[in-house]
Amino acid sequence: TAGLPAALPSLSLELTVLYNALLFAVSESDGLVEGEAERISHGLIRVLEACGVSGQDLSTEELWQKVLQDVTAEEMRAPLHRLGALQGAVWLAANCLGSVTALFRLLSGTKVMLGALYRLLALLKAWSVPAEGDASPLVVQSTKDLKEILWTSAAFLQGLQGLEAGNLSAALSLLQEAAAGFCSKRVLAQIYTCIGCCTQQMGKPQMALQHLKRALQVDFQCLSALSQAAAVYRQLGETDAELDALALLYKALETPAQEAVSIDPCFLIRTELLVHTPALASLFSRSHPSEVKYSLAQRCLQAGRVGQAVEHYLDLLALLQEGPQHQVPLHGRSALPRTPEVFLEAASALEQHGRHQDAIAVCEEIIGRTGDLIPETLRIEWSCGAGGEVTGILPQERESLRCVVWRAAAYLHQGRAWTGLGDSKEAITHFTRCLNVLLRVQLVSTGTVQPARPPTTLPAWEGPPWGWLVLLQGSEPGKHRQGNGWQCLGD
Amino acid sequence: MLSDEQEKILSYNGEVLLFQLSKAKCAAEKTTRLHVKRMAYDNGSNLFLQKSSGLFSMHGGNLNIEMVCCNCTADFRTGINLPCILMREKKNSVYKYFLLLLHSSNKFEQCLNFKLEYELKNDTRLLNGPTVLWRHAKKLFYISTKTCTVLSASVQLSSIEWAGEIENEGNVVLGIRPACLSEEEDGQTLSRSDGAVWHSEFVVYAVENRKILTGICFLPHAYSSVISCVHVCRTGISKSQFRTSVVAITRKRQLIWFQDGLPKGVCQLQDGEPCSVQVAATSRNDLLFVVSFASRDVCVVRKDNFQVASRLQKVKSVLVDDFIGTGTEQILLLFKDVSSTDSLSTFRITDFGEVSYASDISCKKDFPHVEELQENGFLTIRALEARLQAGCTSVRELQQHLQLKKKVLFESCSALIDLVQGTEHILPTAEEKGLVSLWDDAENLLHPLDKKTTLTSGGPEHVIEKLWQRVVDDSLVVGVKITESVNLSLNDVCLSLVMDQHFTSVSPIIQCQSKIAKLNKTFSAMSISSCQMEPQPKRIKLDFCSMNDLKKDYHGRPYKTSADVAKTFIAVTPLSPLLAFRDIRCMILLHAKRKKYQNGNLQESKTLTLLCGKISLNLEDISSGKYSVNLLRNNSHYTDTMEDIFAILAVALKFSFHIVSSDYTLTPVKMWLLSQMECMPIKECPENMFCHKLGSLHGTVFNWNLKTPFEGILTLFCSVVFQCLHSLIGILPPTCKVKALRSESKDILTDQLALALEKEMVTFRSSFSSAVSEVENNLIPSSEADKTMSRVTVSSLSDRKEAVRQFREELKNEQKQSALSMNRTVSGALYRQMALKIAGAQLCSDTIAWRLNIS
């Protein structure tokens, strides 16, 4: 068709070729790139050209409106609707729900008087796919299939948006619609997991558990269902079940994932390609084994199962020392705290379990590593803002401050351990060292601050390092309060 | 002396023919001479050497003789391909044309003289015959040695794109003509709309047959407005359709390869005006397209990748032939050489692969000697022949073997049929069939059936709830519904129809088929909102049947109980034989085995026969539609819908399909049932759907049972299964697996297998224990005797000698006993009994295992 002028009789074929080519392009690019929209617009402009209407300088939405209103030829109906379905997929993938709704209002030719939530689904349902004639060119994916996939994707996407917006009951019913739709195992498992999240937020934990279980039955690779289930059990206070779920999750994460088998592209356009929102990505991001191990250990410690906690902490320390593949990148979402804090928690667990020598050894590790990182004196000038927040601390200073606190906490642990061993001389030595380390910090206030009233909130200062000191003073393990940390330091 | 020289070059059988026209202006005579030189490439000297030459003198006349065109054409008298050249002589305003044929002896033969009042232009072709073909004023003219006069064809052409010979049609012309909308009679013209779009079309005209062929199988009409050069590479006819390969160049300098009229490859060419395209089949089984440009450039395109293989400049002419004699074609490029008058001085022979010779450099290749090649070929052929013969023999043996097997099968089948029908099967004598029977030809007497059944006529009304009859298609369906309490204790139920009247000629018992129909009545559709309730905390079992199950479960109602299953026994018999009697009354008998439980164990049951009632059947009732199924006609509500459904289900063939999707949910099935099959759920049993689609599928009952979102069982009750399946396969995701299930479901078979295995084990245990007990019974008397003896001896132990003797005796006895115990035997009768029981039990479990395996 290269170089031929646009002519109505050949356009049906041309649009079908465009449709097929775009299907492959979309499937190949594994998401959706900008170029597709351009090519659809070009096809529409050619349709208008054949009808003698100029379509230049119109947006894609306007083009669709013009084409669907002006082109009335019966033989153009099927190819145009087909292309429309593809356009719907492209827009859906770009989360342009408004454009999709407008398009399907044009395609279905009905005016559905429903609420905004169900309008798109109703329009999709009302849209009757034009029958393919026997002589019409073959397509790689039929419009009917595409319609089903669009329906599921639209329901899923809207459900997810409802979930994000906190509109839970609407999200639940949309997600349930999606679960009854046409989709792959992976997507169904994701939908069930989302239903689980939704019902959990609605305060129906048993319902959530049921759906999470279903998700796992459908696709065991859907591990976020497992972590969700652990969260639900935690909410229910069923520590045994929660720890079981976490242990299972850790085991599943340890075994190599069978990613290669799962992808079987028997459909070019799949729900997976159309639904990608940041919320979904964060919900289904694969958690790291060490993160799971950490939460296992922490939960054991919090539940008072010190023996188990110690085992898990030791495993985790071994994992962290094994190499960089087990070290989690430090991003905001990671459940794993900084490595010294993990070590300190491990030391605390060992200490509680009565393994004083081991606790001392673990703390020695921290002391050894932080020695070079702390200056002789750390002079920190800070001021207090109007709202009581601390300002004026540089990031390097903050890091050094953290090291100081880690080191001090390690000494404190060692002191307590020596006390536990009955060697009060050693204990005093280490407590002294602890104080020495802390006294290297010189706080100088520059602003208008009342020294009598230390700031109550320290939002810019992450809590845990301060919290360690609290922890060591015999309060509940694992619970960190920032204000106390400050007081401790001030004492 | 020589001036105004004209030269033409032609390749012929690997030679290059050089035609030179010289006009001698010698004083006395005006002679125009046509020289021909046969040049052949010489491998040794890497030059084109002259092999021979010829001369043709045209005396008298003026000097206005020109060469118009030359080509190799087949002489229809001999069929030999000969070079020929068309000459033109201008006399006043009349053009005189004549064709010269060059024979192998270098003699020219003059044929085909004709005069025209106009000059032939580019659209002139020399074709087999020889035939001269040209276009003038949109008309096609031709002359051949057969016709000897100029004829005009009945087709209008605006240009000739290609001319040549194709199979079965002779010489054909591929041209372009304006689209003619009126011409419909041959059905090969392009459709009205296409013509309106492009205003021109391709036409293929067979010159000798004087008919228009379909042009669409060469090139799509859409290209008729943009095409500039065409070469038809290959044509053939398969299944009365043309198979064509065409290469064409468009005005946008695109080289396009068409196969059977479909574009298969495109190559964008360089700038310039392409004027011709040639095709060379080279040594690597590849085609090269040689495109010559008006600017004396040549561009070579490979067919396998549609990439430009080479670009050459200042090429005087391009010839394609086998110049070096390897069996494949090469391209001869003749370059313009100002220094030499010899046109073959600067050349290059190449196929852009293995072969490359040039006039200045030579890179030879060693080719195996011809003799060696021939010998190799001969040996290969001999070996192939031997293999062929061996293959033939083995095929013949296999055929004989197959025939023998067929014979055995046929014989077994006929024996089986006879056995079923109750007639005696006469085995052909072994000699006659050339077979030896594996079994003894012993007589196989049929035992008369035991008449132990008891006719319990008392109280059928307690057992029978309802008796009904329906006529579906050509079958009579009789149904008996029995009360549920009795239902549970009956086993092996079947119905029989016995005619009241005794016709002497026919048996009173009507042959019929008994079935048991089950339908799950309770299956209420519930709203999806039911699952929004928070379930009780401890609910471990979770199944996928549907959302509805959830509700059922936490309402504490079991999903399926026997009370929910309506059990109806049905007999189906062909109607037409009964109609012969006009008016019939039948007794319906129910045969069953009543289960008896004793100490919780199932004992052998008692056979019982019940008289259920009588039915009458006459033609008037049937024709008035009294017994017909109302469901089939329309879907309005009737009271006896259940009976109707039972009747349909009983008559229709039942097919079950287990559908498993490995990756995608099976929602399309439901969609398919509701939309494509136009199904409506039956009110009484919504699991079953009734197809209202008009056509052969009307009346089909579907049962779609989705076990999980990825697995389900579709049961069809229909007469035509393949239409359904075809349409179903179309909508299922491609990774779906559809497996036909045998009548029983796997679960039931599994249960049965477990029972059968248990029974087998019990049989083993009981028979072994009986055998052991028998053996022990044999042993006990002798051992008891021994004991008494030993006691006696011990008590009177006085003499040592006596003691030794007794001990010896004892030892002997013991030896005897142990020998006996080593070699225990049971009686033949017991052994037979045991073997029979065990074999029976094993057969039973084996059968079920086999059925489970194939289901």
CATH of the domain at B688: 3.30.310
> pLDDT value at position B63?
65
CA atoms within 13 A on the CB side of A334: 16
> pLDDT value at position A394?
74
Q: Is A188 on the interface with B (CB under 8 A)?
A: yes
Question: Does A378 share its domain with A393?
Answer: yes
Question: Does B7 share its domain with B103?
Answer: yes
**Percent of chain A at pLDDT exceeding 70:** 79
The angle at the Cα of B224, spanning B223 to B225, to the nearest 5 degrees, equals 90
Rounded to whole angstroms, how far apart are CA atoms B597 and B601?
6
Question: Does B527 share its domain with B478?
Answer: yes
Q: Which phi and psi (to 5°) does residue B261 adopt?
A: 80, 10
Question: Does B586 share its domain with B729?
Answer: no
Per residue in A240-259, pLDDT (tens digit) is: 888 888 888 888 887 766 55
Per residue in B649-700, pLDDT (tens digit) is: 778 777 888 888 888 888 888 888 888 888 887 777 777 888 888 777 777 8
Question: Does A238 share its domain with A360?
Answer: no
Ranked by mean pLDDT, which of A81-90, B113-122, B424-433, B590-599 comes out on top?
A81-90
- Tell me if residue B319 falls in helix, strand or coil: strand
Q: What pLDDT band is residue B813 in, cutting at 50, 70 and 90?
A: confident
Rounded to whole angstroms, how far apart are CA atoms A434 and A436?
5
Rounded to whole angstroms, how far apart are CA atoms A92 and A31?
11
List the domain range (segments joined by +) for residue A97. 1-130
Per residue in B280-310, pLDDT (tens digit) is: 888 777 888 899 888 888 888 888 888 888 8
Residue B332's nearest CA partner among B340, B342, B343, B341 is B343
Residue B230's nearest CA partner among B218, B216, B241 is B218
pLDDT at B559 over 50: no
Question: Does A356 share its domain with A451?
Answer: yes
Among A101, A130, A159, the domain-final residue is A130
Q: To the nearest whole angstrom, how far is the Cα of B671 from the nearest Cα of chain A?
A: 10
Task: Name which of B528, B671, B734 is nearest A176 (Cβ-Cβ).
Answer: B528
Question: Does B723 share its domain with B780?
Answer: no
Q: Is A144 on the interface with B (CB under 8 A)?
A: yes
Residue B531's nearest CA partner among A190, A189, A173, A198 is A173
Q: Does some domain include residue B64? A: yes
Q: Give the amino acid at A353.
A: H
Per residue in A339-361, pLDDT (tens digit) is: 778 888 888 888 888 888 888 88
Q: What pLDDT band is residue B181 in, cutting at 50, 70 and 90?
A: low
Question: Does B763 share its domain with B710?
Answer: no
Residue A168's nearest CA partner among A200, A143, A144 is A200
Name the DSSP class of B749: H
> pLDDT value at position B400?
92
Q: Does some domain include residue B270? A: no
Residue A263 Cα to chain centre, angstroms: 21
Mean pLDDT of A109-123: 72
Rounded to whole angstroms, how far apart are CA atoms A236 and A234?
5
- Element housing B34 (H / E): strand B31-42
Task: Name which of B196, B222, B266 is nearest A4 (Cβ-Cβ).
Answer: B222
Dihedral Cα B430, B435, B439, B441, nearest 10 deg: -10
pLDDT at B398 over 90: yes
pLDDT at B527 over 50: no
Rounded to whole angstroms, how far apart are CA atoms B274 and B257?
16
Residues on chain A touching B735 (C-beta within 8 angstroms)? 264, 266
**A178: CATH:** 1.25.40.10
> pLDDT value at position B551?
33
Among B685, B714, B743, the domain-final residue is B743
Q: Does some domain include residue A136? A: no
Q: Does some domain include residue A35? A: yes
Residue A267 Cα to chain centre, angstroms: 27
Quick one: closest CA in B to A180, which residue? B667
Q: Is A185 on the interface with B (CB under 8 A)?
A: yes
Task: Name which of A3, A204, A266 is nearest B735 (Cβ-Cβ).
Answer: A266
> pLDDT value at position B563?
40
Per residue in B468-500, pLDDT (tens digit) is: 888 887 888 888 877 766 555 666 677 777 776
Q: To the nearest whole angstrom, how far is the Cα of B684 from the nearest Cα of chain A?
A: 25
Question: Does A124 share its domain with A114?
Answer: yes
Name the DSSP class of A222: -
- What are the structure tokens assigned to B573, written together? 């018999």
Rounded to whole angstroms, how far apart are CA atoms B771 and B791?
31
With contact defined as beta carbons under 8 Å apart, do B595 and B602 qualify?
Answer: yes
Q: What pLDDT band is residue A192 in, cutting at 50, 70 and 90?
A: very high
Q: Is A204 on the interface with B (CB under 8 A)?
A: yes
Contacts of B227 by beta carbon, 8 Å cutoff, 6+ apart: B161, B176, B219, B248, B249, B250, B251
> pLDDT value at position B701?
84
End-to-end CA distance of chain B: 99
Dihedral Cα B778, B780, B784, B785, nearest 10 deg: 10
Rounded to whole angstroms, how far apart are CA atoms B754 and B749?
9
Q: Does some domain include residue B61? A: yes
With contact defined as beta carbons under 8 Å apart, do B852 and B743 qualify?
Answer: no
Among A431-435, B235-239, B635-639, whose mean pLDDT is lowest?
B635-639
- Element housing B426 (H / E): none
Mean pLDDT of B791-812: 74
Q: Is B532 on the interface with A (CB under 8 A)?
A: yes
With contact defined as beta carbons under 8 Å apart, do A153 and A274 qualify?
Answer: yes
Question: Does B726 share its domain with B773?
Answer: no
Q: ipTM more than 0.85? A: no
With contact defined as beta carbons under 8 Å apart, do A5 and A48 qualify?
Answer: no
Q: Is B181 on the interface with A (CB under 8 A)?
A: no
Alpha-carbon distances of A287 from A246, B148, B656, B729, rounded to whole Å: 11, 91, 44, 40
- Element housing B817 (H / E): helix B800-822
With contact defined as beta carbons under 8 Å apart, do B267 and B303 qualify?
Answer: no
Name the DSSP class of B161: E
Question: Does B700 share its domain with B795?
Answer: no
Question: Does B530 share its domain with B664?
Answer: no
Q: Do B665 and A188 touch (CB under 8 A)?
A: yes
Q: Is the dihedral of CA A23, A24, A30, A36 positive or negative?
A: negative
Rounded to whole angstroms, how far apart are CA atoms A229 and A193?
9
pLDDT at B399 over 90: yes
Residues on chain A touching B708 (C-beta within 8 angstroms)? 217
- Element housing B173 (H / E): strand B170-178
Residues on chain B touching A264 (C-beta within 8 angstroms)? 662-663, 735
Q: Is A150 on the interface with B (CB under 8 A)?
A: no
DSSP sequence for B702-730: EEEEEEETTEEEEEEEES-HHHHHHHHHH
Among A238, A257, A287, the domain-final residue is A287
Question: Does B568 share its domain with B467?
Answer: yes
Residues on chain A touching B662 (C-beta within 8 angstroms)? 264
The arrangement of strands across the sheet holding B298-302 comes to B274-281, B287-293, B298-302, B308-312
Question: Does B573 share its domain with B706?
Answer: no
**B126: CATH:** 2.40.128
Rounded to whole angstroms, how far apart are CA atoms A36 and A20?
12
User: pLDDT: is B595 or A210 the higher one?
Assistant: A210
Among B713, B743, B773, the domain-final residue is B743
With contact defined as beta carbons under 8 Å apart, do A82 and A136 qualify?
Answer: no
Q: Does some domain include residue A338? A: yes
Question: Does B786 share its domain with B710?
Answer: no
Residues on chain B touching A51 (C-beta within 8 angstroms)? none
Q: Do B663 and A2 touch (CB under 8 A)?
A: no
The arrangement of strands across the sheet holding B6-12 comes to B6-12, B15-24, B31-42, B47-58
Based on the structure, what is the number of domains in chain B? 4
Question: Does A246 share its domain with A293?
Answer: no
Q: To the nearest whole angstrom, how far is the Cα of A262 from the nearest Cα of chain B?
A: 8
User: pLDDT: is A406 or B514 the higher one?
Assistant: A406
Across all residues in chain B, what is the average pLDDT? 75
Per residue in B326-369, pLDDT (tens digit) is: 888 888 888 877 666 677 778 888 888 777 888 765 444 445 55
Question: Does A52 share its domain with A199?
Answer: no
Q: Give the amino acid at A173.
A: S
Task: Name which of B528, B532, B537 is nearest A206 (Cβ-Cβ).
Answer: B537
Q: Give the amino acid at B253.
A: R
Task: Name which of A10, A172, A207 is nearest B534 (Cβ-Cβ).
Answer: A207
Q: Do B665 and A207 touch (CB under 8 A)?
A: no
Question: Does A399 share its domain with A426?
Answer: yes
Q: Do A182 and B664 touch (CB under 8 A)?
A: yes
What are B739's strand-pairing partners? Answer: B658
Residue B203's nearest CA partner among B184, B178, B228 is B178
Q: Is B313 on the interface with A (CB under 8 A)?
A: no
Q: Do B266 and A9 touch (CB under 8 A)?
A: no
List the domain range (segments joined by +) for residue B509. 459-600
Q: Does some domain include residue B173? A: no
Mean pLDDT of A318-332: 65
Residue A233's nearest CA partner among A225, A311, A315 is A225
Task: Name which of A7, A181, A213 is nearest B667 (Cβ-Cβ).
Answer: A181
Instruction: Look up tokens 């290297």; give the residue.
Output: A440
- What are the structure tokens assigned to B204, written together? 């293929």
Residues on chain A touching B531 (C-beta within 8 angstroms)? 176
Q: Is B2 on the interface with A (CB under 8 A)?
A: no
Quick one: closest CA in B to A142, which residue? B731
Q: Is A148 on the interface with B (CB under 8 A)?
A: yes
Give the best residue of A184, A214, A221, A268 to mutate against chain B (max B CB count within 10 A).
Answer: A184
> pLDDT value at position A462?
37
The arrangement of strands across the sheet holding A441-445 comes to A390-391, A378-384, A441-445
Rounded to whole angstroms, how far apart are CA atoms B285 and B302?
11
pLDDT at B831 over 90: no
Question: Does A425 share its domain with A313?
Answer: yes
Question: Does A238 share its domain with A359?
Answer: no
pLDDT at B552 over 60: no
Based on the structure, what is the number of domains in chain A? 3
> pLDDT value at position B671?
84
With contact defined as beta carbons under 8 Å apart, do B603 and B596 qualify?
Answer: yes
Quick one: closest CA in B to A270, which residue? B664
Residues on chain A touching B667 (C-beta within 8 angstroms)? 148, 180-182
Residues on chain A touching B528 (C-beta within 8 angstroms)? 173, 176
> pLDDT value at position A344?
84
Residue B208's nearest CA partner among B302, B252, B144, B251 is B144
Question: Does A278 share its domain with A307?
Answer: no
> pLDDT value at position B197?
66
Residues on chain A touching B534 (C-beta within 8 angstroms)? 204, 206-207
Size of interface A-B (CB pairs under 8 A): 75
Q: Does some domain include residue B519? A: yes
Instruction: Look up tokens 């084990």; give the residue.
Output: B761
Q: To the nearest whole angstrom, how far is the Cα of A319 from the nearest Cα of chain B?
A: 35
Instruction: Look up tokens 């289960």; give the residue.
Output: B595
Q: Does some domain include residue A269? A: yes
Among B72-86, B498-512, B639-653, whose mean pLDDT is lowest?
B498-512
> pLDDT value at position A479?
34
Question: Does A391 share its domain with A343?
Answer: yes
- Contacting A residues, span 8-67, partner chain B, CB-CB under 8 Å: 8-10
In residues, how long is chain B?
855
For B593: left if phi > 0, alpha if psi spans -120 to 50, otherwise beta; the answer is beta
Question: Does B728 share its domain with B763?
Answer: no
pLDDT at B643 over 70: yes
> pLDDT value at position B555?
33
Residue B249's nearest CA partner among B266, B261, B235 is B266
Q: Which phi and psi (to 5°) does residue B741 adopt?
A: -100, 145
User: Strand B565-574 and strand B688-691: pairing?
Assistant: unpaired
> pLDDT value at position B539?
42
pLDDT at B212 over 60: yes
Question: Does A373 share its domain with A266?
Answer: no
End-to-end CA distance of chain A: 84
Instruction: Look up tokens 């309106």; give the residue.
Output: B196
With contact defined as beta carbons under 8 Å apart, do A461 and A338 qualify?
Answer: no
